[in-house]
Amino acid sequence: MAQEPIIFESLPGELWWGGGSHYGTMMPFGKTKTSINLLGDLGGNQGAPLFLSNRGRYLWSDDPFAITFDQGRISVSSAKGAVLLEEGHANLRGSYRHASQTFFATSGRRPPEAFFKTPQYNTWIEMGYEPTASKVIAYAHHILAHGFPAGVLMIDDNWQEDYGTWDFHPGRFPDPAAMVRELHALGFSVMLWMCPFISADSQTFRTLRGQGLLVKDGSGDAAIRAWWNGYSAVLDGSHPEAVSWLHERLQGLMDRYGIDGFKMDAGDPEYYRAEDSTYGQVTPVEQCRLWSNIGVAYPFNEFRASWRMGGQPLVQRLRDKRHSWDEDGLNTLIPNGLAQGLLGYAFNCPDMVGGGLEGDFGSPHFRFDQDLFIRYAQCSALFPMMQFSVAPWRVLDPDRLALCLNMVRLHVSMADELLALADAAASDGEPIMRHLSYAYPDQGYDEIRDQFMLGEGILVAPVLERGSERRRVAFPPGRWRGDDGSEVEGPTTVEVEAPLSRLPWYRLVHSSPLG
Rounded Cα–Cα distance for residues 147 and 137 (Å): 16
Parallel, antiparallel, or unpaired: how do β-strands 152-155 and 120-122 relate?
A: parallel
What is the full per-residue pLDDT of the chain (515 aa) written as tens digits? 457 899 999 999 999 999 999 999 999 999 999 999 999 789 999 999 999 999 999 999 999 999 999 989 999 998 788 899 999 999 999 999 999 999 999 999 999 999 999 999 999 999 999 999 999 999 999 999 999 999 999 999 999 999 999 999 999 999 999 999 999 999 999 999 999 999 999 999 999 999 999 999 999 999 999 999 999 999 999 999 999 999 999 999 999 999 999 999 999 999 999 999 999 999 999 999 999 999 999 999 999 999 999 999 999 999 999 999 998 999 999 999 999 999 999 999 999 999 999 889 988 899 999 999 999 999 999 999 999 999 999 999 999 999 999 999 999 999 999 999 999 999 999 999 999 999 999 999 999 999 999 999 999 999 999 999 999 999 999 999 999 999 999 999 999 999 999 999 999 999 876 54
Residues 394 and 408 in one domain: yes
Run of H or E including 425: helix 415-428
CA of residue 124 relative to chain centroid, distance: 16
Any residues with CB less than 8 A from the CB of 10 and at least 6 apart, and which? 30, 69, 72, 73, 74
Q: Residue 318: inside a domain, yes or no?
A: yes
Residues 120 and 82 in one domain: no
In sequence order, the β-bridge partners of residue 225 are 232
E-strand spans in 270-386? 300-303, 306-307, 316-317, 348-349
Q: Residue 33: inside a domain, yes or no?
A: yes
Interhelix angle 370-381/398-413, nearest 10 degrees: 10
Rg (CA), the chain: 23
Is residue 391 packed enough to be buried (19+ CB in 10 Å), middle (13-18) or exposed (0-12)? middle
Cα–Cα distances in angstroms (integers) from residue 44 to residues 23, 26, 285, 287, 338, in the given order: 10, 16, 12, 14, 16
Q: What is the pLDDT of residues 354-370, one digit of tens each?
A: 999 988 998 889 999 99
Q: Residue 223: inside a domain, yes or no?
A: no
CB 503 within 8 A of CB 484: no
Q: Residue 83: inside a domain, yes or no?
A: yes
Q: How is residue 392 annotated by DSSP?
A: H
Residues 55 and 160 in one domain: no
Cα–Cα–Cα angle for 190, 194, 195, rounded to 5 degrees: 165
Residues 375 and 476 in one domain: no
CB 20 within 8 A of CB 47: yes
Q: Which amino acid is at 454?
A: L
Q: What is the model's pLDDT at position 2?
A: 54
Q: Return the SS3 of 483.
A: coil
Parallel, antiparallel, or unpaired: how do β-strands 160-162 and 452-454 relate?
A: unpaired
Domain boundaries, position 183:
114-194+242-271+280-420
Positive/negative CA dihedral, 112, 113, 114, 119: positive
Among 68, 103, 138, the domain boundary falls at: 103
The 3-class SS string of 173-219 reads CCCHHHHHHHHHHCCCEEEEEECCEEECCCHHHHHHHHCCCECECCC
Closest CA to 249 of 154, 168, 171, 334: 168
Residues 311 and 362 in one domain: yes
Rounded Cα–Cα distance for residues 417 and 406 (Å): 18
Q: Residue 367 maps to which CATH number? A: 3.20.20.80
Q: Residue 161: inside a domain, yes or no?
A: yes
Q: What is the model's pLDDT at position 1?
A: 43
Q: Return the SS3 of 486.
A: coil
Among 405, 420, 435, the domain boundary falls at: 420
Residues 411 and 429 in one domain: no
Q: What is the model's pLDDT at position 515?
A: 43
How many domains does the chain contain in total? 3
pTM, two decimal places: 0.97
Rounded Cα–Cα distance for residues 237 and 76 (Å): 29
What phi and psi, each to the nearest 5 degrees, are found at residue 425?
Answer: -65, -35
Residues 410 and 480 in one domain: no
CB 445 within 8 A of CB 470: no
Cα–Cα distances in angstroms (integers) from residue 137 to residues 143, 179, 189, in the given order: 10, 7, 13
Residues 317 and 416 in one domain: yes
Residues 163 and 257 in one domain: yes
Q: Residue 199: inside a domain, yes or no?
A: no
